[in-house]
Structure 1
Amino acid sequence: MDTIQGMRAFVAVATHSSFTEGARQIGISTKLASKYVGQLEDRLNAQLFNRTTRSVTLTDTGRSYYERCLPLLEQFDELEGLVQQRQSELAGRIRITAPTGYGSAELIHLLKPFQAEHPKVSIELHLSDHHVSMVEEGYDLAIRFGALKDSNLVARKLTDMRIICCVSDAYLAEFGTPKDPADLSNHNCLLQTTGSNIDHWAFNGPNGVHTVAVSGNFRANSPRAVAHMAADGLGIGRIPLYTARPFLETGQLRLLFEAQEAVSLGLYAAYPQNRHLTARIRALIDHLATQLRGS
């Protein structure tokens, strides 16, 4: 058995917790994947998986081996590319996880020119509003808003995203225009539940940053849902700029208290700290940072 081949089979099975799915990912039969992993265990004289009829899970030894296999395989792929004189042409797969709203509305447009320039790079994008374990799920890169809670990740800030107040003309015509942020306490405010202090909105004032207590009859864990409801005239929303931008461009929403905005949200590209960054991943992070600086 080729050791690298065995390591690839092991990593694929570990990533998917399944011999069947792991084998499918690397294009071999389940029987062959099982054979390769068995031979690898024999060679290492160690049990890498706990196997039952219903599940495949890593042993403690297997988890340590998995975490070390990933960067080794990535470095091997990059070295192989150099030997084949492909160093000037990026190639290979990048698995990315990103928030659903930002990924579907903004990130895909940023990825398009990168893939046009590097056609041999394939991108697998997983959209989710729940943070996933990058190592366990096998992702190369995570695009995330806000401070990172996982100390095992390295993050590069790509940009700061403004958090804006917005409202439709229809709402203002019916309920009047708030003259000052303090007036928001008398209006129907649409609350995004994924942030902190969801019912206390911060603004800059003459004496510094202050908060206004707000309430309303609609709340959602999606900023895009809040944007849609605000555009439909239900109330006043406070959301990331990217979510409101399409409605601002069409005139369905307008900004409120733009000069008094006090909050921004960092957008980061994150990757496991023990992960060797291949040339294609480094190039993608640089591309995103460049694109966002110019936006």
Structure 2
Amino acid sequence: MDKIDRMRAFALVAKNASFTIAATRMGRSSRLVSKYVADLENALGVQLLNRTTRSVSLTDAGATYLAMCEPLLEGFDELEERIRSDQASLHGVIHISAPTGFGALRLAPSLARFASEHPNVELDLQFSDRRVSIIEEGFDLAIRIGPMRDSSLRVRKLGHMPLVVCASPDYLERVGTPDHPHALLAHECILDGNNTEPTIWRFHINGQIEAVPVSGRFRMNAPAGAAHIAASGVAIARCPAYTVANALDSGDLVELFAENRVSPYVVAALFPQNRHLSTRVRALIDHLVGDATLCLEGSLSVINKRSP
């Protein structure tokens, strides 16, 4: 007797608390489904279900077995789906969360390319600068930039995003150009409300990473807003490169301390640990990993490194 059929019968009975419903969904008789479950219990040497004339419930061992066999069944179904279906036939909805600025400027064009290759896939993209709860809010994956703090999620790195300290030429002409990261304490800096230590910026100095205190009247959780404020000439900003690349190229902003950059932020796709990835979600993640235009890693020529 096929072990997959035994596992599937047990899982359907357990989830529906009914041999009859499980039999209907499998297209088998209730008697045969009952035999599948009994044979599985005999093979394991443990009782998985409590049975009465009125109810069916899981034993402790049954609950453990169900939690472990469901991903295996999903994986088997996924294997068959992938063998039967060509990648071009991907279909269904993918629910995605992403930071507002990065989502609009970098992610959306990449998703448009993915959508053109897979016309039967629907993309539900939600922009938010707060850390959404992926599982509770029903997202298939979330794109995040920075430290990956949630250990309950799986992480697939997409690339790196450099952090750039910059100011407008007008600001530097009016206030003066700081000649060393420690000189930032005398300047108006824009504080990032997303960081746990917004008043600390870190730099590579003399072969070590040093924490440099900064201060300022502006505190915000949207890096694109910080970039606009810096370009207006009132403060110095430290922003992910995607928010300032165009302004640096045009000369509206000038990078400071390029030689002191610390390791850039990680750009990653996060998804639930215990959720089996569908083919379409896996294909999207693979697409993002392979998209060289998504992050600015290895493409720092777009960052204007001219000395002020």
What is the TM-score normalised by the length of structure 1? 0.71
CA gap 1:188/1:71 in 2 versus in 1, 3 angstroms: farther
CA gap 1:123/1:74 in 2 versus in 1, 3 angstroms: farther
Q: How far 1:97 moved relative to its partner?
A: 0.8
**What corresponds to 1:180 in structure 2?**
180
Long gaps (5+) in structure 1: 8-42, 47-64
Residue 264 of structure 2 is aligned to residue 264 of structure 1: yes
**What corresponds to 1:192 in structure 2?**
192
Q: How far 1:132 moved relative to its partner?
A: 2.0
Kept in 2: contact 1:75–1:276 (CA 8 A)? no
Q: For this pair of structures, how many residues does the alignment match?
A: 237
Q: Stretches of 4+ moved more than 6 A in 1?
A: 43-46, 68-75
Q: 1:109-146 deviations in whole A, cap 9, x for unaligned? A: 11121111111111110111222222222211111123
State the distance in 2 between where 1:102 and 1:71 align: 36
Kept in 2: contact 1:203–1:262 (CA 8 A)? yes
Kept in 2: contact 1:75–1:278 (CA 8 A)? no
**What corresponds to 2:121 in structure 1?**
121
Kept in 1: contact 2:166–2:253 (CA 8 A)? yes
State the distance in 2 between where 1:116 and 1:189 align: 42
State the distance in 2 between where 1:113 and 1:294 align: 21
**What corresponds to 2:247 in structure 1?**
247
State the distance in 2 between where 1:149 and 1:207 align: 27
Matches within 5 A, 1:3-18: none
Structure 1 counterpart of 2:152, one-letter code: N
State the distance in 2 between where 1:149 and 1:232 align: 33
CA gap 1:70/1:100 in 2 versus in 1, 3 angstroms: farther
Q: How far 1:263 moved relative to its partner?
A: 3.9
**What corresponds to 2:212 in structure 1?**
212
Matches within 5 A, 1:88-237: 88-237=88-237
Structure 2 counterpart of 1:246, one-letter code: N
Q: Secondary structure at the match of 1:196?
A: coil
Structure 2 counterpart of 1:89, one-letter code: S
What is the TM-score normalised by the length of structure 2? 0.68
State the distance in 2 between where 1:45 and 1:116 align: 48
Q: How far 1:259 moved relative to its partner?
A: 0.6
State the distance in 2 between where 1:111 and 1:148 align: 22
Kept in 2: contact 1:181–1:212 (CA 8 A)? yes
